[in-house]
Amino acid sequence: MKFLDAVIAKAHYNRWANSVVLNAAKSLPTEQIFAPLVPRLDTIYAILNHILVVDKLWVAELEEGSFEVTDTRAILHAKWDDYIEDRLRTDDRIVGIVSALSDKELEATLYCDVDTHSDLREWSFACEIDHIFRHQTHHRGQVVLLMETTSVGRLKIDQLFVHPDSDRLNVGF
């Protein structure tokens, strides 16, 4: 498998895993999505929203567009259904973006000339993309753990392979 194929597979996996989480969440009472389930931890919605904000920032940067938000914890949608629509659209955009990449683009070097939370000033574009998927996976794991405290129980989202034709479950809201 070429590296580009692996990147595309990760995009499909992330879209599939997000669909699994959203399908599970639809069975929960609203208060379990929007209220803390464990003291001092974020809500399911706050975590899912944070993932979406970061993904939208990344998509806007890649598409050379703009997405104005001052805080990655800013709530984008007051209504759950609006969040779901935006999440699904963003997942489709991410799959589209990475599916259109070339090996040459993945090998490109990115440069940063502003202070960030690390001393890193250059890195490969492939590492950038991998970081976006790791970010989703990290926070989606937090959501899955919170869902274990509800009637949803334990979700299985560690598939070995997700076929591109079946990566999006029907999220019927």
Record the tokens describing residue 95, joined without a space.
Answer: 């799959």
pLDDT in tens, 128-150: 899 899 999 999 999 999 999 99
Whole-model pTM? 0.88
- CATH for the stretch 3-166: 1.20.120.450
Q: Tokens 């389930």 label which residue?
A: 37
Given a cut of 70, the residues of the chain with pLDDT beneath it are: 1, 113-120, 161-173
Tell me the domain boundaries of the chain.
3-166
Structure confidence at residue 166 (pLDDT): 63
Structure confidence at residue 26 (pLDDT): 92
- Strand partners for 111: 122
Record the tokens describing residue 54, joined without a space.
Answer: 């970061």
Structure confidence at residue 111 (pLDDT): 76
CB-count exposure of residue 33 (10 Å: 0-12, 13-18, 19+): buried
Chain centre distance of CA 126: 17
CB-count exposure of residue 97 (10 Å: 0-12, 13-18, 19+): middle
**Cβ(69)–Cβ(62) below 8 Å:** no
For residue 130, the number of C-alpha atoms closer than 13 Å in the C-beta half-sphere is: 11
H/E run at residue 124: strand 122-124
CA dist., res. 37 & res. 21, Å (int): 16
Residue 79 contacts by C-beta under 8 Å, 6 or more apart in sequence? none
Structure confidence at residue 173 (pLDDT): 40
Is the Cα torsion angle 107, 57, 47, 148 positive or negative in sign? negative
Q: How many CB atoms sit inside 10 A of residue 51's CB?
A: 24
Residue 165 contacts by C-beta under 8 Å, 6 or more apart in sequence? none
